């Protein structure tokens, strides 16, 4: 079959989500993915040794906070999550640690060991953003972005004013205005950096969004690839097709309308009603032809900014789970889902990113990681473990991304050594295998993660909300009739939320005059 109602370019979880909604709406859809396995950033591979399964990109999901799993009944197709009680542990070189729990009161107890005022502030913020405004936060993610004046009019009352007050702030300003302990500040700043945010003015609005999700992260049972597997099964059960191992080399346009795609190596797939691109916006413009967008839009998209930092991952196959020195101060550190180590102060954190922006490895590597087998033993053979650490890093190391290949073993040894300072049991006896996955490897596996930009583009005011990727394309539509965007270079960006794919499906359904079988999430509103 070479003719469909719609074709989705790119089989990451956003493209699959868009396809699944529209397939259940009765459209014949095809997803075309260049890799041999669909999923994009939802990928699980045996990177180290046979039987040891590693999530190569995403590991911490809040997918079930949104509508997609329930709408598509993904549990019927094998998708399941576990939500560890100890959500986070930030560990310091002096042997202390801060822990975040699913229970906000237990988190407050941990904060109180550093600052009682911070513990009280945490409870206030949690009640406001993780509980009272929980549905509001979904409205921001799972609806088309509104112009700032319209949004301001819709957000009333004390909470609305408080929420809007964060928008002009930088990441660090948003955190610092709430907490006094530098250790507590490092916890929040590190987590915001982990989702690819830089400390620049206009990013403070991510802080309330973080608060709404920080204690609700889940581990996908069996691996992140199971998100893609479930979505593929939905598509196929409803008559859709997922084509892997084929690269779209052009989006066909005739008389100003998207009519299909041309495949590398030959072959054409025809789209009767739409083409949706789940790859990044610059790649989409190249595929469809810049002339079809007009010189001004094409130039703006060509100037799209990629993230100023990436991550380098050290994946380990282990004989036993890591045990941290900080467990003497806080025993729950050893059963935390997400750990952060490497930066003891805001000043150190700033220094880390200064050096990354210079194209250098930081003096001290810092970032987050996990040991998934603590919560799901299926990631490794019986009694064994997998773990990873994701320190922040530059894409162009010493001015050349190829340096990552040349220095792979040296850097892996360094990362293991620095990690072992916090977890002394990481030794030749316990480490059965290891694999460094560099920013260059990220780009190789997911071509839309250009320059190792693991959230598919920088988060800065010029690329947030309706400005993402550029204002003219900020509503998932393009100047080409029938061509849509549904990938992470559109609002709200990259993470395993499936929001860009969901929002893209809504735009397509609206334009095609389809009556949604799902109940769309309303645009954000707060009346006080």
Q: Counting beta carbons within 10 angstroms of the beta carbon of residue 37, is it exposed (0 to 12), middle (13 to 18) or buried (19 or more)?
A: middle
pLDDT of residue 528 exceeding 80 = no
Residue 494's pLDDT band, with cuts at 50, 70 and 90, is: confident
Residue 254's pLDDT band, with cuts at 50, 70 and 90, is: very high
Q: Which residues of 466-483 are buried (b: 16+ CB within 10 A; e: fewer)?
A: bbbbbebbbbbbbebebb
Alpha helices in 264-328 (DSSP H): 281-288, 295-302
Convert the pLDDT of each residue in 22-33 to its tens digit.
Answer: 999 999 999 999
What's the chain's Rg over C-alpha atoms?
A: 22
pLDDT number for residue 495: 84
CA 403 from centre of chain: 26
pLDDT of residue 435 exceeding 80 = yes
Which residue would you say has higher pLDDT here, 6 or 210?
6
CA-CA distance, 336 to 329, in Å (whole number)? Answer: 14
| pTM attached to this predicted model | 0.95
Name 269's bridge partners. Answer: 261
Q: Distances in Å between the alpha carbon of 117 and those of 102, 121, 204, 208?
A: 20, 6, 21, 19
pLDDT number for residue 334: 97
> Smallest Cα–Cα separation from 393: which of 434, 425, 436, 429?
436
pLDDT number for residue 199: 87
Q: 146: which DSSP letter? A: P
Q: Which two tokens stand for residue 374?
A: 């603590």
Q: Which two tokens stand for residue 190?
A: 């590190």
Which residue would you say has higher pLDDT here, 23 or 460?
23
CA 324 from centre of chain: 27
Task: Provide mean pLDDT across the span 182-205.
Answer: 90
Dmax (CA) for the chain in angstroms is: 69
pLDDT number for residue 359: 95
CA-CA distance, 55 to 46, in Å (whole number)? Answer: 9
3-class secondary structure, 29: strand
Convert the pLDDT of each residue in 71-88 to its tens digit.
Answer: 999 999 999 999 999 999
> Smallest Cα–Cα separation from 220: which of 382, 376, 46, 45?
376
pLDDT of residue 251 exceeding 90 = yes
Q: Distances in Å between the alpha carbon of 271 and those of 7, 8, 336, 522?
A: 6, 10, 47, 30
Convert the pLDDT of each residue in 441-454 to its tens digit.
Answer: 999 999 999 999 98
Count CB-CB contacts under 10 A for residue 427.
Answer: 11
CA-CA distance, 226 to 174, in Å (whole number)? Answer: 35
Q: Which two tokens stand for residue 399?
A: 């001015």
> Smallest Cα–Cα separation from 54: which of 322, 375, 380?
380
pLDDT of residue 19 exceeding 80 = yes
Residue 197's pLDDT band, with cuts at 50, 70 and 90, is: confident
Residue 195's pLDDT band, with cuts at 50, 70 and 90, is: confident
| Residue for token pair 């196959």 | 317
pLDDT of residue 260 exceeding 90 = yes
Residue 148's pLDDT band, with cuts at 50, 70 and 90, is: confident
pLDDT number for residue 191: 86
pLDDT of residue 413 exceeding 90 = yes
**Mean pLDDT of the chain, nearest integer:** 95
Convert the pLDDT of each residue in 338-364 to its tens digit.
Answer: 999 999 999 999 999 999 999 999 999
Residue 439's pLDDT band, with cuts at 50, 70 and 90, is: very high
- How large a percentage of the chain has pLDDT more than 90? 90
3-class secondary structure, 513: coil
Task: Provide mean pLDDT across the span 108-135.
Answer: 96
């Amino acid at each position: 079959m070479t003719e469909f109602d719609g074709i989705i370019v790119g089989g990451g979880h956003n493209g699959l989500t868009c396809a699944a909604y529209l397939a259940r709406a009765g459209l014949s859809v095809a997803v075309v993915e260049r890799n041999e396995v669909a999923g994009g950033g939802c990928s699980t591979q045996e990177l180290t040794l046979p039987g040891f399964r590693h999530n190569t990109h995403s590991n911490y999901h809040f997918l079930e906070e949104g509508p997609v799993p329930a709408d598509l009944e993904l549990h019927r197709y094998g998708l399941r999550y576990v939500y560890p009680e100890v959500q986070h542990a930030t560990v310091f070189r002096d042997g202390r640690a801060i822990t975040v729990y699913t229970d906000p009161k237990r988190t407050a107890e941990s904060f109180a060991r550093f600052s009682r005022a911070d513990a009280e502030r945490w409870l206030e913020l949690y009640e406001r953003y993780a509980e009272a405004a929980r549905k509001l936060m979904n409205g921001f993610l799972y609806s088309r972005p509104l112009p700032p004046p319209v949004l301001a009019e819709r957000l009333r009352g004390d909470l609305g004013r408080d929420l809007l007050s964060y928008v002009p702030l930088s990441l660090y300003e948003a955190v610092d205005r709430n907490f006094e302990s530098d250790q507590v500040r490092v916890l929040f700043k590190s987590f915001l950096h982990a989702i690819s945010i830089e400390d620049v003015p206009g990013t403070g609005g991510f802080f309330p969004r973080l608060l709404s999700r920080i204690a609700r992260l889940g581990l996908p049972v069996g691996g992140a690839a199971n998100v893609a597997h479930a979505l593929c099964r939905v598509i196929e059960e409803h008559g859709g097709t997922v084509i892997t191992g084929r690269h779209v080399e052009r989006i066909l346009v005739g008389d100003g309308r998207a009519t299909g795609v041309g495949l590398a190596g030959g072959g054409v797939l025809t789209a009767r009603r739409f083409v949706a691109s789940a790859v990044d916006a610059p790649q989409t413009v190249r595929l469809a032809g810049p002339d079809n967008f007009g010189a001004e839009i094409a130039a703006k998209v060509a100037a799209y900014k990629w993230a100023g930092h990436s991550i380098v991952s050290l994946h380990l196959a282990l004989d036993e789970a890591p045990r941290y020195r900080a467990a003497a101060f806080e025993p729950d550190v050893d059963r935390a889902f997400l750990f952060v180590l490497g930066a003891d102060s805001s000043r150190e954190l700033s220094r880390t990113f200064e050096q990354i922006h210079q194209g250098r490895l930081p003096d001290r590597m810092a970032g987050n990681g996990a040991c998934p087998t603590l919560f799901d033993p299926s990631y490794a053979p019986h009694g064994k473990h997998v773990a990873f650490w994701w320190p922040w890093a530059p894409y162009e190391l010493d001015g050349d991304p190829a340096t990552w290949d040349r220095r792979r073993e040296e850097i892996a040894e360094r990362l293991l050594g620095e990690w072992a300072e916090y977890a002394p049991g990481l030794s030749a006896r316990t480490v059965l295998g290891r694999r460094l996955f560099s920013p260059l490897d990220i780009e190789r596996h997911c071509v839309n993660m250009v320059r190792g930009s693991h959230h598919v583009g920088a988060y800065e005011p010029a690329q947030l909300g309706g400005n993402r990727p550029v204002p003219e394309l900020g509503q998932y539509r393009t100047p080409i009739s029938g061509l849509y965007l549904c990938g992470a270079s559109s609002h709200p960006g990259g993470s395993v939320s499936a929001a860009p794919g969901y929002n893209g499906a809504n735009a397509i359904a609206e334009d095609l005059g389809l009556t949604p079988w799902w109940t769309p999430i309303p645009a954000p509103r707060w009346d006080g």
